[in-house]
Structure 1
Amino acid sequence: MKFSAKVESITPSSTLAITAKAKELKEQGHDVIGLGAGEPDFNTPNYIIEASYKSMLEGHTKYTPAAGLPKLKQAICDKFKQDNNLEYTPDQIIVSTGAKHALSSIFQTILEDDDEVIILTPYWVSYPEQVKIAGGIPVYVEGKEENQFKAAKDQIAAAVTDKTKAIIINSPSNPTGMTYSKDELLDIGNLCLEKDILIISDEIYEKLLYDGAEHVSIAQLSDELKEQTLVVNGVSKSHSMTGWRIGYTAGRKDVIKKMANLASHTTSNPAVMAQFGAIAAYTEDDGSVENMRKAFEERLSKVIDRVNEVPGFTCQKPQGAFYLFPNVKEAVEKSSYSNTEDWVKGLLEEAKVAVVPGDGFGAPDNIRLSYATSLEQFEEALDRIEKFVSKQ
């Protein structure tokens, strides 16, 4: 069968082989520790589950508007006002089947063939593939490790062409956990205003910040930047609701209207009971969300120094999310492996520890470690990693 050129252009995820091998080893009875989790290891809070269950008992099991329940869109508007000092109206909001779907819908809506999208590296693995599927061209700008993996304005300016349509900013970042400051965002934002570049701000890790770090949305910095920005967020990470698949986009009415039209012919509405759960997430609070954040903060404080003690590892302390992104170039160079991806495969086969190689994030000298697991498991994994490194 001949497949579409767009599907054929998708680069297979570098994590697939590791994931498949880890699963195979587990099925064979091996004690594999996985540090690749991209989701909190806490259950969804009970008050959210109960609200969703109640909605079904009350008969809310039918279609909703493609852009989402009006009550949920209002709750999202209230969230923006309370958390970000941003004023949106419900017709500036579309609810999607997860933030990943929101991003994909944006690219499908705004891109024509060969439009360029600036992606700052390290990046979340799906950004470039979603751009390619929509017919666009990813243009990469390196976030320097010595600058907390963040790209500077002059680097971005050098990548702009007459085909540049948009830029993606992910703060806090997956995979680095780093955040852009107000001044850094202003520099990037002013460039985008000057060049008429649409800003896509992925803020899904907004609530997971540590050591007093504060989230700044580029959309809140001026009225002009708000108009230039599409903010993507959701409840997946903040409320441990990854499987519920509720994300959303806030922005200009004309873009949101087109995205809703696209949804009406593709997905229709997100699951209605999940929408009711999201309403509860934004209108109720039993303290469990903050307790989860504190647990991640405690884990980070306990594991960061230990990671830096591994020979050949250097790791900056992140400000948010639940990942560490150590540079392992020295450890790899001293080993019998030719690159980080092969080193990661060897780590899994010999030490039974699964981590994510950094090449899938555009940073081949690094690996991603998720501390969305128990401290005991994480520390045992580091014991195994140290033994693996010492044998090389």
Structure 2
Amino acid sequence: MQYGAQRVSDINLSQVRKMFEQASPTAINLALGEPDFDTPKHIIDALKNALDEGYTHYSQNKGEVKLRETIVDKLKKDNNINTTADNVILTVGASEALYSTVNALIDPKDDVLIPDPGFLSYREVVKIAGANPVALKTSAENGFNTTLDDVENTVTENTKAMIINSPANPTGSVMPKDEIKAIAEFADENDIIIISDEIYEKIIYDKKHYSFQAYTDNAVTINGFSKAYAMTGLRVGYLSACSEIIDEVLKVHQYNVACIDTATQIAATEALTGPQQCVSDMTSEFRKRRDLVVDSLYDMGVECIRPDGAFYVFFKQDNPDEFIQKALKEDVVLVNGNAFGEMGEGYIRLSYAQSYENLQTAMERLAKIA
């Protein structure tokens, strides 16, 4: 008997998690994309207080009004997006926001452009919806940034949506304002929905972040608290879109999770309204780590681009599998770039979401095999 549904028969489990499971207990894990920082104390205190005050019951399907209103203020201030609390849905992390959006808006006949290289969930979520993921290829020559030319050369007559991620996993690229605006205009002209994953928005170095939804109503903004506030395990994300899109996404969200954890919504409200020094301090530390890793790779003669955001370095290797296996023997865990698409062939992703001291040790170990 075949138990699996046909639509999930060729869904791939995460190669990142596979590498994590192969590692020894003493290995330095540069595979997992999770900040190593503790959730800031004022956020944890807000969570504890919420539990003590009885926030253990259902919230509205879309989420607590106060948090949604706080997100509306944040979107206006940080992203130049004008919206309302009714047009925001709180989700179980950015992952559920992506899943609910794709399954609410995409039909089996549709094509969805996904970044290549890009976060491995994009392809699989589109496939779960029964739709066709179409690789939106980017190149090292252009810093792995998605351009209007890339979109125009990839779009098909069946393209319903495109998923774009800036700052990007796995490359750390950050799209410039002119490309954001140009792609937004193209999407409007061609009735294509932009699903914009902005989860790394706050982890950005020498550039500025821009949102598609500031330039078009034909966009869904996906964000959350996992990366900026080191709240990965608390699973709070959100999406913002026009009312027509929100009405459809709410159907999937409601029958999938009903609502997200109520107490963590109180903590998320505190994250946005409380002290923000924790965010800038973490980003400053990530900058130091990025420079350590990139400079160390340069010293080894390894080719890579200094990333402008997120906490990954995507570096070239003639034989990634061999290098990764040698690194494992040195107790360093890495991920093959081909996990992120065809354009990741010949690359390796390194996450510098580890302490500076661990990164120093890891780079010393990698220098032995470079």
Report runs of 4+ in structure 1 exceeding 3 Å deviation.
none
Distance in 2 (CA, whole Å) between partners of 1:149 and 1:129 is 21
Which of the numbers 129, 137, 140 marks the counterpart of 2:135? 140
Do structure 1's residue 13 and structure 2's residue 7 form an aligned pair?
no
Do structure 1's residue 168 and structure 2's residue 168 form an aligned pair?
no
2:172–2:312 contact (8 Å) kept in structure 1: yes
Which of the numbers 226, 234, 247 marks the counterpart of 2:237? 247
Do structure 1's residue 231 and structure 2's residue 221 form an aligned pair?
yes
Distance in 2 (CA, whole Å) between partners of 1:119 and 1:356 is 20
Provide, for residues 235-293 of structure 1, a one-character-per-residue CA deviation record: whole Å limited to 9, x for no partner: 11111111110101100112212222222212111111111110111111152221111
Which of the numbers 48, 56, 71 marks the counterpart of 1:53? 48
Aligned partner of 1:359 in structure 2 is 338
What amino acid is the match of 1:361? F
Unaligned runs of 5+ in 2: none
1:341–1:359 contact (8 Å) kept in structure 2: no
Alpha-carbon RMSD across the aligned residues, in angstroms, is 1.4
Do structure 1's residue 219 and structure 2's residue 213 form an aligned pair?
yes
Structure 2 counterparts to residues 53-202 of structure 1, below 5 A: 53-202=48-197
Once the two structures are TM-superposed, the CA of residue 183 in structure 1 deviates from its matched residue by: 0.9
Distance in 1 (CA, whole Å) between partners of 2:35 and 2:78 is 21
Distance in 1 (CA, whole Å) between partners of 2:54 and 2:15 is 43
Structure 1 pair 300–343 and aligned structure 2 pair: CA distance change class (3 A): closer
Aligned partner of 2:251 in structure 1 is 261
Distance in 1 (CA, whole Å) between partners of 2:180 and 2:172 is 16
Query: Which of 7-16 and 196-205 deviates more?
Result: 7-16
Aligned partner of 1:207 in structure 2 is 202
Distance in 2 (CA, whole Å) between partners of 1:160 and 1:370 is 31
Query: Which of 278-287 and 235-244 deviates more?
Result: 278-287
Aligned partner of 1:335 in structure 2 is none
Which of the numbers 368, 376, 386 marks the counterpart of 2:349? 368
What amino acid is the match of 2:176? S
What amino acid is the match of 1:21? Q
Distance in 1 (CA, whole Å) between partners of 2:308 and 2:9 is 37
Do structure 1's residue 303 and structure 2's residue 293 form an aligned pair?
yes
1:177–1:318 contact (8 Å) kept in structure 2: yes
Partner of 2:19: helix, strand, or coil? helix
Structure 1 pair 61–16 and aligned structure 2 pair: CA distance change class (3 A): closer
Distance in 2 (CA, whole Å) between partners of 1:193 and 1:145 is 28
Unaligned runs of 5+ in 1: 333-339
Aligned partner of 1:336 in structure 2 is none
Structure 1 pair 270–129 and aligned structure 2 pair: CA distance change class (3 A): same
Partner of 1:166: helix, strand, or coil? strand
Once the two structures are TM-superposed, the CA of residue 155 in structure 1 deviates from its matched residue by: 2.7
Distance in 2 (CA, whole Å) between partners of 1:126 and 1:367 is 18
Partner of 2:12: helix, strand, or coil? coil
Provide, for residues 5-57 of structure 1, a one-character-per-residue CA deviation record: whole Å limited to 9, x for no partner: 111121233334322210xx32xxxx311111311111111111111111111
Structure 1 pair 189–286 and aligned structure 2 pair: CA distance change class (3 A): closer
Partner of 2:163: helix, strand, or coil? strand
Distance in 1 (CA, whole Å) between partners of 2:114 and 2:80 is 27
TM-score by length of 2: 0.96
Provide, for residues 76-130 of structure 1, a one-character-per-residue CA deviation record: whole Å limited to 9, x for no partner: 1011111112111011100100001100000110011121100121100100000
Structure 1 pair 10–367 and aligned structure 2 pair: CA distance change class (3 A): same
Do structure 1's residue 32 and structure 2's residue 32 form an aligned pair?
no
2:19–2:31 contact (8 Å) kept in structure 1: no
What amino acid is the match of 2:325? K
1:14–1:359 contact (8 Å) kept in structure 2: no
Aligned partner of 2:267 in structure 1 is 277
Aligned partner of 1:379 in structure 2 is 360
Once the two structures are TM-superposed, the CA of residue 305 in structure 1 deviates from its matched residue by: 1.2
Aligned partner of 1:337 in structure 2 is none
Which of the numbers 345, 350, 374 marks the counterpart of 2:325? 345
Distance in 2 (CA, whole Å) between partners of 1:286 and 1:20 is 34
What amino acid is the match of 1:214? K
TM-score by length of 1: 0.91
Partner of 1:63: helix, strand, or coil? coil
